[in-house]
Amino acid sequence: MSRPVSKFAEWLARASIQDTFGLCGLLALVCWICCSLGRRFRHLPLRLQQVSWRSFFQAPTPGVLQWLDIPTYLQGGVLTVLLIVNIIVISLHAWTWADLQKRAGCLAVTHLVPLCSGFSFSLPAHVYYVERDTFYWAHRWLGRICVLHCLLHGSVLGENARNTSLGAPLAIPLLAGCSLVSILPWTLAAILRRWPQLGLKVHYMLASIATGALFYHLIDRVSSYRWVLLGGICAGCAWSAGTCLHTMWFHGSWRITSRRALARSFNQFLWLDIAVPMGWEAQPGQYVQLWMPRSGVRSFLQLPSFYVASVDTVHNAPGPPTTRTLRIVTRPRPGVTGRIAQAADHATYSTIHFPVCVLGPYGHPPNLGQYGTIVFVLEDIGLFRALPFIRHLVQESRSRRNTVRRLEVLWQVRLKHFSESPIMLGCFAVSCAYRNRPPPLGGG
């Protein structure tokens, strides 16, 4: 018998009934996932020669993994590697249960450092060249692994509670652990889809409570990891300051300038026109975030994202133009965007003016000029994110600056009293979008 197998047999002989039941439950879960994958992909070997590895890793996962917040196989592989690394680190040379608990506490503090990304994820995602949704996903899973380490380390409280009363030394770490565990329900997709702004505010509040209580606990224990947590807090403050400096750099001003926005609600979309300096550049596919501190207390704590639809130069007076018009669009959701859209619907001429601060632009759009045929498969508001791409590609193709010769757009939307197939619906919607696009907000 090999050494790992003999060690596992010795551990199994000494394991308690709780550990045995936990191991059986884990094996049952693994068997269930394997059976689900086997039923779904039993014909996969016949199609492997026709599917590239890149397409396979980007393909959506089965329903079970989707429910577990693992949308693609690439993200599933990254998560598997992350879990294996954590298991190896926490169990390597840990001879007693106390060593395991202590190391879990150290890993919990270590995982908190990458979670401190400032008040917005846009700048870290922009710097690391990753999609914002991918950054959200990594943030959620790092937080969940951190909570697991906290629960494992928190089992020390059960042993200490037998000998001491539940006073301040135990109440502070218990508060930190309960705050971290309470964040988990607010990361579910159903909650984020229905109450995004409420979930964000509750998340920030619970994270602040947990960080403060944990920092006090580390200082009270005179742990060297208090400096690690302090470094994470400083990194979060640095990301927040970097977001402001990034905005000042693009706007050519050493202060965050408030600009006048003209809003209009059209066909369940919220359009905004903002005058920006001539040197302000935004590429197709990028997005910006708006800060509206003068629109109320609730708007002060929100940073809604808007897709860049176009950046056009407007000639309103003789002489060279000094400003450009930034047109951005989003789908109104519960919160500040919903209130702005409702106010624009009830206003005179269906437009309203209000001051905003523009943060961004963010994102690194792909270079599509190297392909001959491009197919856009779009859904809902994604069309308006692709319209700048389409216009840019057509202009460069006419001037022979790219190799694009064919563009196909499939747009799926939901229209009432329309029962055609999704493909026909997309073609109909694309033709309507070009014929019935909203007029300029300034009239005309």
Scanning the structure block, which residue is given the tokens 């920092």?
215
Q: What per-residue confidence (pLDDT) applies to 28?
A: 72
Average pLDDT over residues 283-295: 81
Q: Which two tokens stand for residue 343?
A: 């106010």
DSSP H stretches of helix in 116-167: 122-127, 132-163
Q: What per-residue confidence (pLDDT) applies to 168?
A: 52
Q: Which of 12-16, 109-113, 212-216, 386-390 has the lowest mean pLDDT?
A: 12-16
Chain segment 133-170, per-residue pLDDT in tens? 888 888 999 999 999 988 888 876 666 555 555 455 67
The answer to whether 436 and 429 have CB atoms below 8 angstroms apart is no
The answer to whether 65 and 75 have CB atoms below 8 angstroms apart is no
Q: What average pLDDT is seen over the chain?
A: 76
Reference 345, options 418, 243, 271; nearest CA is: 271
- Provide the CATH topology of domain 259-362: Elongation Factor Tu (Ef-tu); domain 3 (2.40.30)
The answer to whether 137 and 119 have CB atoms below 8 angstroms apart is no
Query: With bands split at pLDDT 50, 70 and 90, how would you rate the model's confidence at 41?
Result: low
Query: With bands split at pLDDT 50, 70 and 90, how would you rate the model's confidence at 425?
Result: very low
Average pLDDT over residues 51-76: 78
Instruction: State the Rg of the chain over Cα.
Output: 26
Cα–Cα distance, 212 to 175 (Å, whole number): 10
Q: Where are the domains of the chain?
A: 1-33, 60-245, 259-362, 373-435
